[in-house]
Structure 1
């Protein structure tokens, strides 16, 4: 769901910002930070970029179809009005 490279980058930035005695704890700190970040991100109600892009494309296609149908409906209504006027004349 989340880009592992970005997650690793954030974990490294947090580790780099820690005081030296904490850094000496080694890879355990980085692993724990990564686990905490991933757990917190997992709680968020979000979608990844790929899913968002797919849904955006679906929405755009749906909007275009709706516009096309509205235009056809307006044309049919105009045609019916014209026929009704000619029948009444």
Structure 2
């Protein structure tokens, strides 16, 4: 979820950049901007930074495990090929 403080900051920036004639409507405009921002951001398929960092670490560990498994398979295949070659030579 998006940090409410960030939404508040964006809403203030948008509100501050509006023409004075619109600003005369006051706080209602800022509230509406905040509501629209929250609504639009909620539609996006976003994750927070903590979840992203956790998933990045999970992916790195998974890649490391995959590399180790690939090495083990290669080693087992080499042993199997060596054993097969030795049997054929007998």
Please, which runs of 5 or more residues in structure 1 have no aligned partner? none
- What's the TM-score, normalizing by structure 2? 0.88
Q: Which residue of 1 aligns with 2:47?
A: 47
Give the 5 Å matches for 1:1-16: 1-16=1-16
Please, which runs of 5 or more residues in structure 2 have no aligned partner? none
Is 1:78 aligned with 2:60? no
Q: CA RMSD in A?
A: 1.3
Higher RCO (C-alpha 8 Å, min separation 6): 2
Q: 1: distance between equivalents of 2:13 and 2:36?
A: 14
Q: 2: distance between equivalents of 1:38 and 1:31?
A: 11
- What's the TM-score, normalizing by structure 1? 0.89
